[in-house]
Amino acid sequence: MRRLKIPIDVRPAARPRRPAFTLVELLVVIGIVAVLIAILLPVLRKAQEQARQAVCASNQRQICMAALQYANQNQGWLPRIDDPYLNFNQPSQGVIQFQPPRAWIDFTRGELMPYVGKDPAIRQRVFGCPSDPDPKVFVNLMTGAPALRNFSFSLNKGLAFPSPRVRWGCVRLTQIRGAEHKIIVVEMDSPGGIVADINYMTFSQGTTSIVPLLTARHSGFCNEAFFDGHVELIDPKIFNGTNDNTSVGLVNAASEHYMDLFADQ
């Protein structure tokens, strides 16, 4: 008897097709991702700036504490700062020393520097703001000439132009009125020397105008360190304005309150 041969299909079973994204669906996903990135980037930038602002405040506090420690070891006398701009761009010989050009601090010398840090690299880092990236540039407001600088912070001009009441051109810590609201470390936008100010007066064709000097690099604000050791964000626009309605001047109530070391305000 003949046996019937039954053919056997040895071909693999066809796999079920997996559903794939259509072009429209891919475009929708890409659009959603783009929207999320657009939302998150400003948040990330703000967080990064807040971190830089915190480092900036820490550096200013360290400079402030160095000046206070200097005073504690010198019978209460604060360091007398010496700006080379006032000495015809010659190297200063004070507690903070410069090299020509005048916007370049010599971090290897100066009486204040050992209180700031052990080596020049640390001192330069402390005098810098992370939101003030290299190369740092100073522009002379009188000539318009640019120059490189290696620092972001200056000290209250009251330590360079003290009252005649003080000895040897220095200020004693106990002479400062309202240390909790008097600024010692100033964050200007483009400092050219260690002597800090908040405004600059210009004259052109019989017109007087005021140029603000404080920075607004921290989301419109600036860090300022005070003689009692704390640091806070300040709106630089509070220093705009005058004492009266009839003249333009460099000083207003806010500048006396924050910058005049001997003012009772």
Enclosing H/E stretch for 147: strand 146-149
Which whole-number Å values give the CA distances from 129 to 57, 102, 125, in the listed order?
A: 9, 19, 8
Residue 97 lies in a domain: yes
Q: Are 252 and 242 in contact (CB under 8 A)?
A: yes
Residue 88 lies in a domain: yes
**What local confidence, expressed as pLDDT, does residue 32 receive?**
84
- Total domains in the chain come to 1
Residue 4 lies in a domain: no
The whole model's pTM is what?
0.78
**What local confidence, expressed as pLDDT, does residue 15 receive?**
63
Residue 23 lies in a domain: no
Q: Are 121 and 44 in contact (CB under 8 A)?
A: no
What 8-state DSSP symbol labels residue 214?
B
One digit per residue, pLDDT tens: the chain, 265 residues?
566 565 655 565 556 666 666 877 788 888 888 888 888 777 777 888 889 999 999 999 999 999 999 999 988 888 877 665 555 444 444 567 766 666 888 899 888 999 999 999 999 999 999 999 999 998 877 777 888 899 999 999 888 765 555 544 578 888 899 999 999 999 999 898 888 888 877 777 777 777 788 999 999 999 999 999 999 999 998 887 654 444 556 677 888 899 988 888 7
Across 221-243, b (16+ Cβ under 10 Å) vs e yields bbbbbbbeeebeebebeebebee
Range of the domain at 36: 28-259
Residue 21 lies in a domain: no
Enclosing H/E stretch for 138: strand 136-139
Residue 11 lies in a domain: no
Can you tell me the distance from the alpha carbon of 38 to that of 36, in angstroms, rounded to the nearest whole number? 5
